[in-house]
């Protein structure tokens, strides 16, 4: 018998980096290949399982997730830094995602079509792809994995899931809940490891028919380069540099509050976070004052957690220094939180006097940093809002219904918000962006079946042979 020696990795609490919260065993390359092979073997039985039965396992998993919400939220909070309150909300959202897709098992998977011949029956059905590789990030360690895994499973695919190494313990917990719910062996497989090793195996494995990934643009491009030529289906959710527009007729208090929530919730570590805001000059000074007031209400360490890691901490502080060097004016924050003796805490940060060619106006920071820019009018605001390589989410605050609908039509993003912050997604609605923010079919809602299934068209001759 061959003994497998796995590398052990310690996980540390970003709120208290000296605290080891557990260890995770990292899979070897050969072990990962064997997991993929077992998932391929399990596919035949799983795809022939009733879709209603598949959905029932998701429903039971949702119940178990809610029953273990405290445990999951506590683990995720200690592992990647999001406050426990935010994580409890995410766990609740995860249960909603599971329940939504559980119901997909009862919905139609095709349609009967008219034929030109009276002696034929013509219909379609959606069929699963096979083994799906899900590669997920650390910033939403429950919700994002579930909105990939749940549709993949209910539509009849088997899944090999690689959670982010920064959220490995949380991923292990989620996998155990599926197992407790009665998921058959080798249908959902959790593999732990670094993307450069384990992830690469998933990209190259011939048994893997589809790859769904959420993460950075750099990694997304490498996935395209590696897996693109292999005829695998690829779904990428990548970066964002999401803009908010505040017009002079907006509700000032609401616009300021929601803009700060959009920028600072989850410590700004969301691909949909508000990163830049364009304010009509007539209300610029008033809005800026309200933005600062709202940001000062945040209690670092209570209502806003640390960033996820030392690498993330250093990158955000470097971006702040770059903005100052470029000539942007720091009006709030911009430094590590002074009353925190340890932990990767950064104060909510606001810059003004930002020009559109500065890095802070164009590059994703993924932290609690907001760039505020004055514009002459709505036309300048939407032009600058659209002037980005990203196109994930954007919002407008206005009571002018004509401008609101004009914004809906002209904004070059996949998620449009009117009088609401740039973040947020519901399980029943498609999620995804334009430009360099997304590649492939949308996630969530009915749109999910576009990625996780393929149409089969059937013709039956009804005449006697």
Q: Is 433 helix (H, G, I), strand (E, B) or coil?
A: coil
Number of other CB atoms surrounding residue 4 within 10 Å: 11
Q: Is 388 helix (H, G, I), strand (E, B) or coil?
A: coil
From 90, 104, 207, 237, the catalytic residue: 237
- The tokens for 366 are 């993924």
> Which is it for the CA torsion 352, 358, 363, 366, positive or negative?
negative
Whether 237 is catalytic = yes
The CA-atom distances, in angstroms, between 413 and each of 58, 191, 210, 245, 251 are 31, 33, 25, 14, 23
Residue 393 bridge partners (DSSP) = 415
- The tokens for 218 are 């750099």
Residues near 118 by beta carbon (within 8 Å), at least 6 away in sequence: none
Helix (H) or strand (E) holding 439: strand 438-439
- Name the DSSP class of 197: I
From the list 154, 140, 204, 171, the residue with the least C-alpha distance to 26 is: 171
* Angle, alpha carbons 192-132-151 (nearest 5°): 105
Number of other CB atoms surrounding residue 325 within 10 Å: 10
Residues near 128 by beta carbon (within 8 Å), at least 6 away in sequence: 43, 47, 155, 156, 157, 452, 453
Residues near 117 by beta carbon (within 8 Å), at least 6 away in sequence: none
Distance CA 129, CA 80 (A): 33
The CA-atom distances, in angstroms, between 437 and each of 100, 151, 221, 243, 432 are 25, 21, 11, 14, 8
Alpha helices in 23-142 (DSSP H): 29-47, 51-67, 69-80, 84-104
- The tokens for 39 are 């998932």
Distance CA 391, CA 411 (A): 9
Q: Is 7 helix (H, G, I), strand (E, B) or coil?
A: strand
In the block, residue with structure tokens 């904004």: 411
Residues with a known catalytic role:
237
């Amino acid at each position: 018998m061959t003994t497998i020696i796995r590398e052990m990795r310690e996980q540390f609490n970003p709120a208290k980096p000296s605290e080891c919260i557990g260890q995770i065993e990292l899979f070897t390359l050969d072990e990962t290949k064997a997991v993929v092979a077992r998932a391929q073997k399990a596919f035949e039985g799983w795809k022939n399982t009733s879709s209603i039965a598949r959905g029932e396992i998701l429903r039971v998993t949702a119940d178990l997730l809610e029953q273990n919400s405290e445990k999951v939220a506590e683990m995720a909070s200690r592992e990647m830094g999001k406050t426990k309150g935010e994580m409890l909300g995410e766990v609740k959202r995860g249960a909603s995602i599971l329940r939504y897709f559980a119901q997909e098992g009862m919905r139609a998977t095709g349609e009967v079509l008219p034929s030109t011949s009276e002696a034929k029956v013509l219909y379609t059905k959606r069929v699963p792809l096979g083994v799906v590789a899900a590669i997920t990030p650390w910033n939403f360690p429950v919700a994002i994995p579930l909105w990939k895994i749940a549709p993949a499973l209910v539509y009849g695919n088997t899944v090999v899931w690689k959670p982010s190494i920064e959220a490995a313990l949380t991923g292990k917990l989620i996998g155990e809940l599926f197992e407790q719910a009665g998921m058959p062996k080798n249908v959902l497989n959790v593999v732990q490891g670094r993307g450069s090793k384990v992830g690469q195996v998933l990209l190259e494995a011939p048994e893997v028919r589809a790859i769904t990934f959420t993460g950075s643009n750099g990694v997304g491009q490498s996935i395209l380069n590696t897996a693109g030529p292999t005829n695998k289906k690829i779904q990428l959710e990548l970066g964002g540099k999401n803009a908010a527009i505040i017009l002079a007729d907006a509700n000032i208090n609401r616009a300021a509050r929601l803009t700060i929530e959009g920028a600072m919730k989850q410590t700004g570590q969301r691909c949909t976070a508000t990163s830049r805001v364009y304010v009509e000059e007539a209300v610029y000074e008033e809005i800026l004052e309200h933005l600062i007031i709202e940001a000062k209400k945040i209690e670092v360490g209570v209502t806003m957690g640390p960033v996820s890691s030392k690498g993330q901490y250093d990158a955000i502080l470097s971006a702040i220094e770059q903005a100052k060097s470029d000539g942007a004016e720091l009006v709030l924050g911009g430094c590590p939180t002074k009353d925190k003796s340890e932990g990767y805490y950064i104060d909510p940060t606001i810059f003004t006097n930002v020009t559109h060619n500065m890095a802070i106006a164009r590059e994703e920071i993924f932290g609690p940093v907001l760039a505020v820019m004055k514009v002459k009018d709505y036309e300048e605001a939407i032009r600058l809002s659209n002037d980005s390589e990203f196109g994930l989410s954007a919002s407008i605050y206005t009571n002018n219904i004509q401008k609101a609908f004009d914004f809906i039509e002209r904004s070059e993003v996949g998620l449009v918000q009117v009088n609401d912050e740039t973040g947020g997604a519901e399980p029943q609605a498609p999620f995804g962006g334009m430009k360099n923010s997304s590649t492939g079919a949308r996630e969530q809602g009915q749109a999910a079946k576009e990625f996780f299934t393929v149409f089969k068209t059937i013709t039956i001759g009804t005449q006697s042979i």
